[in-house]
């Protein structure tokens, strides 16, 4: 029990002192010493209005999640939510986890009736599974944490399940604390939604429901797990990592191996006045505050104050982003 207590203390300490992906990676490494596994993942899940399961974000440990999910699709393994019946599909283990959330469940995949699930488990080194599903705080989604062992005779035992029941709820709590801390200090403007947490290639690891559904509304044909390509390309093309669309502004922030993407919705109240629009046009032409003041018959200080108002309304932080923002306003 002392070992478990020390592990929990280290996980909470890590949650308060690391960016999210480092926290998850280091926590998995710490848990592996107490609850042995070959690979692991935490996956953010939801269901469409039609009941189809959607994978919104995922973080893999000691495996290629992209390859694993690709094999799952190839094998035709699907789950759906059916009113009055709950989760139905290829994997009865996952359905059991949804029926009994916040508890650890173990399964030997070789005993699953569906042959495609057995073949999937063999191909992805996941013959033995320990999973816990929990409701996401403040949303309608779910998080599933799975630990996998690949050996034929490497079953999880009841003792492993008991350890997981003690350990994993604290991991979910610490992750929630860590993600809340990520949602601070990006800007003095509090209009930004909670950050999308990605790897540097734009693969989504964690995303809140509100942000996920907002992006779905903007890009109806978008299919996670990656950010929409237009957002990644737009941020990469701007020195300030800002992408401006007609409906929102996306601001990127890199922390070690993690990319945080903050979305700010635009509103009618953010439209520019006639004078602000004229100043924005001159700023886009690289005019200085002094040059603009001479042209408009005002002071550089007044132009500077109006420029700050323009930046705030356009949800940008630097002069270099004005040209792209104006192009969108004009179309």
- State the pTM of this model: 0.79
Residue 223, pLDDT score: 84
List the chain residues with pLDDT less than 50: 187-188, 269
Residue-wise DSSP of 67-112: HHHHHHHHTT--EEEETTTEEEES-HHHHHHHHTTTS-EEEEGGG-
Residue 267, pLDDT score: 61
Residue 139, pLDDT score: 64
What is the 8-class DSSP label of residue 271?
P
The residues facing 81 across adjacent strands are 87
Find all residues with CB under 8 Å of 297, minimum gap 6, and list them. none
Retrieve residue 23's tokens: 């926290």
Residue-wise DSSP of 239-264: TT-EEE-SSEEEEEEEETTEEEEEEE
* Residue 47 backbone class (left: φ over 0; alpha: ψ -120 to 50; beta: rest): beta
Residue 330, pLDDT score: 57
The CATH number assigned to the domain with range 268-329 reads: 1.10.10.10
Residue 127, pLDDT score: 96
Residue 274, pLDDT score: 79
Residue 160, pLDDT score: 97
Residue 187, pLDDT score: 46
Domain boundaries defined on the chain? 2-182, 196-265, 268-329
- The alpha carbon of residue 134 and the mean position of all alpha carbons in its chain are separated, in whole angstroms, by 16
Write out pLDDT tens, residues 78-87: 889 888 888 8
Residue 188, pLDDT score: 46
Residue 269, pLDDT score: 47
321 touches 312 (CB < 8 A): no
Find all residues with CB under 8 Å of 214, minimum gap 6, and list them. 193, 248, 263, 265
- Domain 2-182 adopts which CATH fold? Beta-Lactamase (3.30.450)
């Amino acid at each position: 029990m002392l070992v478990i207590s020390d592990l929990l203390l280290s996980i909470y300490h890590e949650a308060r002192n690391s960016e999210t992906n480092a926290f998850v990676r280091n926590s998995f490494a710490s848990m592996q010493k107490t609850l042995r596994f070959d690979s692991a993942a935490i996956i953010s899940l939801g269901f469409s209005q039609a009941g189809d399961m959607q994978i919104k974000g995922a973080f893999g440990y000691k495996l290629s999640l992209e390859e694993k999910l690709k094999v799952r699709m190839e094998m035709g393994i699907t789950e759906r939510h059916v009113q009055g019946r709950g989760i139905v599909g290829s994997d009865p283990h996952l359905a059991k986890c949804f029926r009994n959330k916040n508890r650890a469940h173990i399964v030997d995949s070789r005993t699953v009736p569906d042959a495609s699930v057995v073949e999937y488990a063999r191909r992805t080194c996941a013959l033995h599974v320990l999973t816990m599903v929990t409701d996401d705080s403040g949303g309608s989604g779910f998080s599933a944490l799975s630990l996998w062992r690949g050996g034929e005779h490497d079953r999880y035992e009841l003792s492993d399940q008991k350890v997981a029941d003690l350990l994993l709820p604290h991991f979910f709590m610490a992750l929630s604390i860590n993600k809340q801390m990520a949602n601070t200090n990006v800007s003095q403007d509090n209009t930004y939604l909670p950050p999308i947490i990605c790897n540097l290639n734009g693969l989504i690891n964690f995303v809140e429901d509100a942000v996920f559904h907002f992006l779905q509304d903007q890009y109806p044909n978008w299919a996670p797990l990656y950010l929409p390509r237009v957002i990644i390309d737009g941020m990469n093309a701007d020195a300030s990592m800002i992408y401006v669309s007609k409906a929102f502004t996306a601001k990127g922030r890199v922390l070690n191996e993690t990319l945080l993407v903050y979305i700010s919705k635009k509103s009618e109240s953010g439209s520019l006045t006639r004078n602000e629009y004229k100043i924005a046009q001159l700023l886009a032409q690289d005019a200085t505050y002094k040059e603009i003041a001479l042209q408009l018959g005002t002071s550089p200080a007044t132009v500077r104050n109006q420029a700050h108002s323009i930046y705030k309304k356009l949800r940008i932080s630097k002069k270099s982003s004005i040209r792209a923002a104006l192009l969108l306003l004009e179309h």
